Amino acid sequence: MKLHLSKIILPVFLFSSALTADADSILFEPISKPKATIKKPNLKTIKDFSFKDLNGKQHTFSEYKGKWIIVNYWATYCPPCRVEVTDLNMFAEDHEKTAVVLGMDAGGDPVSELKKFKQEYELSYTMAPAQRSTLLAFGIIEALPTTFIVSPQGKIVDTHIGMITYDDLAYYTEPQHNNKQAKK
């Protein structure tokens, strides 16, 4: 009986160890540069556009010029999106004088569901339901979540595809990183 049990346990142990090793290297490796970034910054200037938030208040993108603008495309059905909202919220609160976070829905949920989500997660940053102006402002959104990092001058300095963390946001907005980007 022990022989049969070991034939089952050993392969399961080896497989789960391999998964754990991968997870550990992904989750606990020190951040030097966010891993999910797959696009090179193009320093493209974003044209002004307007949008309505969850309460119907009109906004223009240009009203945020002079601050870092973190534009996060997400959906309620997207598990990584649900995880990253806490870090986005914390970053927005910690950097309210120098940065703003805009949560742009790309899932098409009704406003009532989006409001419920915002309340459930206790999010303080501006969120907008899916609308033509927001879905077209940055071009094609290839995957969710996708976050555009826009400089205080209104230029995209990076595009982060995949879940973003507080540390990633700090990296993108730190002066040392952005001085390198400006020289490219």
- Coil, strand, or helix at residue 137? coil
* Beta-strand pair 156-161/146-150: antiparallel
Average pLDDT over residues 74-96: 97
| Residue 40 in this model has a pLDDT that exceeds 70 | no
Per 3-state DSSP, the chain is made up of helix, strand and coil in percentages (nearest 5) of 45, 20, 40
Confidence (pLDDT) at 179: 55
> pTM of the entire structure?
0.75
**Helix H or strand E encompassing 157:** strand 156-161
What confidence tier does 175 reach under pLDDT thresholds 50, 70, 90?
Answer: confident
Question: Lowest-pLDDT range, 18-22, 95-99, 117-121, 127-131?
Answer: 18-22
Q: Does domain 50-183 have CATH number 3.40.30.10?
A: yes
User: What letter represents residue 1's amino acid?
Assistant: M
The whole-number pLDDT of residue 133 equals 95
Element (H, E) at 50: strand 50-52
What is the rounded average pLDDT of the residues 123-132? 97
- The domain ranges of the chain are 50-183
Span 106-112, average pLDDT: 96
Q: Quick one: pLDDT band at residue 127, thresholds 50, 70, 90?
A: very high
